[in-house]
Structure 1
Amino acid sequence: MIHFEEKKLPNGLHLIVHHDATTPMVAVNLTYKVGARDENPERTGFAHLFEHLMFGGSANIPSYDAPLQSVGGENNAFTSNDITNYYVTLPKDALETALWLESDRMLELAFSEKSLEVQRNVVIEEFNQRYLNQPYGDVYLLLRPLAYLKHPYRWPTIGKSIEHIREATMEEVKDFFYRFYRPNNAVLSIAGNLNMDEVLPLVEKWFGDIPAGEELKHEYPQEEQQLQSRELTVEREVPLDAIYKVFHMPDRLSPDYYAFDLLSDILSRGDAARFNRRLIKGKKLFTDVQAYIGGDFDPGLFSMSGFLNPNTSMEQANKALWEEIEQIKKEGVTEDELQMAKNKVITTHSFAQTSVLNKAMGLGIAAVIHNANLVNEEVDFYKAVTTEDIQRIAKDFLKESNSTTLYYKAKK
């Protein structure tokens, strides 16, 4: 159980404080409610670009990293389809350094043409290296717009095209910042050996005068029910054929989200998982095959992917995946399989709660999803899943009309 206190500042900043007396460190996590799904379809990749720009200097602080490193702090960030998350760990006595740094870049970035050009080139290089020039790197550039026709999940966080980043103007960058990087669009979560009475005056000191932005509704065009299977075949310079198959699944707050997560573990987490026993070791059709979910807030995708053995055809691989699905529909999973998957999830969850950073981050992200107490409720949601639930979701969602398949062939 993670105990916490909450407070909302007059400018809308949502503050969460967790007291952890076991550590001399403090974690400061700032979650902004902006991800790839909030972008203009003609200017994608901006959320990720801003993750980089936020380290390029702010209105009053030319270097973010130098002051933090001088007090023994570390920091990083990540962008998803739903959020952009920044986090810092540092000694408790240096807490104000983190609040000073984060508040100044929330107030205003430096917005220099030089910084924009530098970070734009960094992102373009990342796009090239990780998505265009890396084997299998363009999978989700191909698969997402095939699976999604309306929802902005149809592009990855890096964006649809390098041109969207290359052509980004300073005016567009400033508009994006002042729309989304406002206190009323953020959750500040702090964990360490401190309490709300200690933290609140410091947060008010550094963040209290930052003006709120417009109230954002965060409403997105939703997918219509998929009624027909979709597929795409491509050839690339890669070592092995691969297959990627996805199915639409419910959103992050649905009880079925937890059933899908457990199903993915039953299929591919660990040596005893079905895919490993049957498709890799048994039938020897794949060198590797996985099932997984993305964790998206809105209705997401349940995914299966595998690298084929050289003597396995695409038809054999596809048939084998469908046979595994049909067996679950027909026979379900065993109580032992489900309990083993639950035990792994509970162990992972418990271990994560030993980290002060994981607790601060978990509280902040949970508050954006629904409410901060979600971090304490999730284990019970996993425990409530039954074998009947697993069989039901397989029947309801894992059907051909709800499937999208990418056949990724190695050039001969």
Structure 2
Amino acid sequence: MVAFERFTLDNGLRVVVNTDTRTPLVAMAIAYDVGARDEEAAHSGFAHLFEHLMFGGSVNVPNFDTPMQRAGGSNNAFTCSDFTCYHCVMPAATVETAFWLESDRMLSLAFTPESLEVQRKVVVEEFKQTCLNEPYGDVSHLMLDLAYKIHPYRWPTIGIKPEHIEQATMPQVKAFFAKHYRPCNAVMALSGNITLEKARMLCLKWFAPIPGGVKPSRNLPAEPKQTEIRRLVVEREVPENALFMAFHMPGRFTAQFPVYDVASDLLANGRSSRLKERLVAKGKCFSMLEASVMGTVDPGLFEVYGQLLEGVTYQEAEAAIWQELQDLVNVGQPELEKVQNKYAATLRYDELSIKNRALQMAEYELYGGAEQLNEREAKQRAVTTGQVATVAKNALVPENACVLEYRAKAI
């Protein structure tokens, strides 16, 4: 259970505070409601570019990391399809430094040509390293483009191609910042040795003077229902043949999401899970095999992926997975309770970390309220074997599947 209080500044910045006096530290997370889904297809990768630009200097702070480190803090950030989050952990005695730094870059970035050029090169190099020069690095591009036809989830966070970032202009960058990086489009979460009163005082001092702006409207196209299996075969210079399968599923904040999450755990969470015990440990088809859910706000994907053992054909490997997906109709209560207990234990472990608490509070407050943090276990416990069977029968089926055969090129 994560106890918290909240308040909202006049400029729209929402703040949630979890006070924990057992630690000498404070974790801060600021989540902006902007991700890759808010980009245009011709200008992809902008949200990720801004993750880097926000460290390139702001109107009154030429270098973000130096004062943060001098105050004993550490910081980082991440971008996903739905939002962007900046987070740090500081000694409680110097936490005001974090408020100063974060407020200054929310107020305005420096927007120098030098900063843009440096971060542009960093992002392009990251694209080349992770997507072009790494084995299986283009899988996200291939699978998302196969699964989505009109929704902006069809490209990954890093963007469609590096040219979109290479060609980004200063006016485009400034417009993106002005639209999305405003107090009314953000949530701050604090966890650790800080009271609600001190958090309010520091927010009023550093963030209240920032103009709130207008929250951007979002009217994304709904992805049409898939009615037949989609297939793609590619050949790359990789160590092993691999198979990737994806199925459309509901978004993270729907009542159905926990059922799909449980199904993925039944399949591949731990060595005794179905896929790993039956298709990996016994050496039947795969050297590794995983299942996961995207966990996106809008309808996402249920994914199964693995590397084939030498001599195993794609037909054999895919048939084995289909058999396991169909066999989810036969899940028993003890097996279900095992994965539910494991999920509960994971939640407890995660809640020990003030950084995890801050990150999760920020995300959940952004999308409906931090109260959802404390409802996760109950929702997972409420999943029944019958619901898992229904997902297997209605969603994990060929007409809802996207299949990628990723073949190792003969050398």
Alignment of 1:44-55 (within 5 A): 44-55=44-55
1:142 is the counterpart of 2:133: no
- Cα drift, residue 255 of structure 1: 2.2
Alignment partners' CA distance in 1, 2:283 and 2:388: 24
- Cα drift, residue 305 of structure 1: 0.2
| 2:207 maps to amino acid | F
| 2:81 maps to amino acid | N
Q: Paired residue for 1:63?
A: 63
Alignment partners' CA distance in 1, 2:313 and 2:90: 52
Report the 3-state secondary structure (helix = DSSP H, G, I; strand = E; otherwise coil) of the residue aligned with 2:43. Answer: coil
Report the 3-state secondary structure (helix = DSSP H, G, I; strand = E; otherwise coil) of the residue aligned with 2:256. Answer: helix
| 2:341 maps to amino acid | N
Give aligned-pair identity as a percent.
45
Alignment partners' CA distance in 2, 1:176 and 1:222: 23
Deviations 1:341-388 (A, max 9, x none): 111110110011111111111111001121111111111100100111
Q: Paired residue for 1:305?
A: 305
Q: Paired residue for 2:362?
A: 364
Q: Paired residue for 2:245?
A: 245
Alignment partners' CA distance in 2, 1:92 and 1:280: 47
Alignment partners' CA distance in 2, 1:239 and 1:174: 43
Report the 3-state secondary structure (helix = DSSP H, G, I; strand = E; otherwise coil) of the residue aligned with 2:325. Answer: helix
Alignment partners' CA distance in 1, 2:188 and 2:111: 23
Alignment partners' CA distance in 2, 1:358 and 1:283: 37
Alignment of 1:213-224 (within 5 A): 213-224=213-224
Report the 3-state secondary structure (helix = DSSP H, G, I; strand = E; otherwise coil) of the residue aligned with 1:220. Answer: coil
Alignment partners' CA distance in 2, 1:194 and 1:160: 42
Alignment partners' CA distance in 1, 2:383 and 2:104: 45
Alignment partners' CA distance in 2, 1:326 and 1:393: 10
- Cα drift, residue 400 of structure 1: 0.6
- Cα drift, residue 67 of structure 1: 0.4
Q: Paired residue for 2:371?
A: 373
- Cα drift, residue 171 of structure 1: 0.5
User: Aligned-pair RMSD on alpha carbons?
Assistant: 0.9
| Equivalent residues of 2:189, 2:361 under 8 A apart | yes
| 2:343 maps to amino acid | V
Q: Paired residue for 2:391?
A: 393
- Cα drift, residue 254 of structure 1: 1.6
1:341 is the counterpart of 2:331: no
Deviations 1:269-320 (A, max 9, x none): 1111111111112352100011101111111000000100011011111111
* Dislocated runs of 4+, deviation >6 Å: none
**Bigger shift: residues 100-109 or 362-371:** 362-371
Q: Paired residue for 2:262?
A: 262
**Bigger shift: residues 151-160 or 351-360:** 351-360
| Equivalent residues of 1:82, 1:296 under 8 A apart | yes
Q: Paired residue for 1:80?
A: 80
Q: Which runs of 5+ in 2 are unaligned?
A: none
| 1:204 maps to amino acid | L
Alignment of 1:122-201 (within 5 A): 122-201=122-201
| Equivalent residues of 2:180, 2:215 under 8 A apart | no
Alignment of 1:98-117 (within 5 A): 98-117=98-117
Alignment partners' CA distance in 2, 1:284 and 1:400: 22
Number of aligned positions between the proteins:
410
- Cα drift, residue 77 of structure 1: 0.4
1:236 is the counterpart of 2:236: yes
Alignment of 1:15-54 (within 5 A): 15-54=15-54
1:409 is the counterpart of 2:410: no
Report the 3-state secondary structure (helix = DSSP H, G, I; strand = E; otherwise coil) of the residue aligned with 1:359. Answer: helix
Alignment partners' CA distance in 2, 1:335 and 1:347: 18
| Equivalent residues of 1:13, 1:187 under 8 A apart | yes
Q: Which runs of 5+ in 1 are unaligned?
A: none
| Equivalent residues of 1:256, 1:393 under 8 A apart | no
Alignment partners' CA distance in 1, 2:164 and 2:268: 37
Report the 3-state secondary structure (helix = DSSP H, G, I; strand = E; otherwise coil) of the residue aligned with 2:402. Answer: strand
Report the 3-state secondary structure (helix = DSSP H, G, I; strand = E; otherwise coil) of the residue aligned with 1:255. Answer: coil
| Equivalent residues of 1:67, 1:97 under 8 A apart | yes
TM-score (norm 2): 0.98
| 1:405 maps to amino acid | V
- Cα drift, residue 18 of structure 1: 1.0
Alignment partners' CA distance in 1, 2:369 and 2:163: 37
| 1:286 maps to amino acid | F
Alignment partners' CA distance in 2, 1:327 and 1:294: 22
Alignment partners' CA distance in 1, 2:401 and 2:195: 49
Deviations 1:210-241 (A, max 9, x none): 11122222331111111111110000001110
Report the 3-state secondary structure (helix = DSSP H, G, I; strand = E; otherwise coil) of the residue aligned with 1:134. Answer: coil
Q: Paired residue for 2:326?
A: 326
Alignment partners' CA distance in 2, 1:28 and 1:283: 46
- Cα drift, residue 101 of structure 1: 0.1
- Cα drift, residue 194 of structure 1: 2.2
Alignment partners' CA distance in 1, 2:190 and 2:269: 32
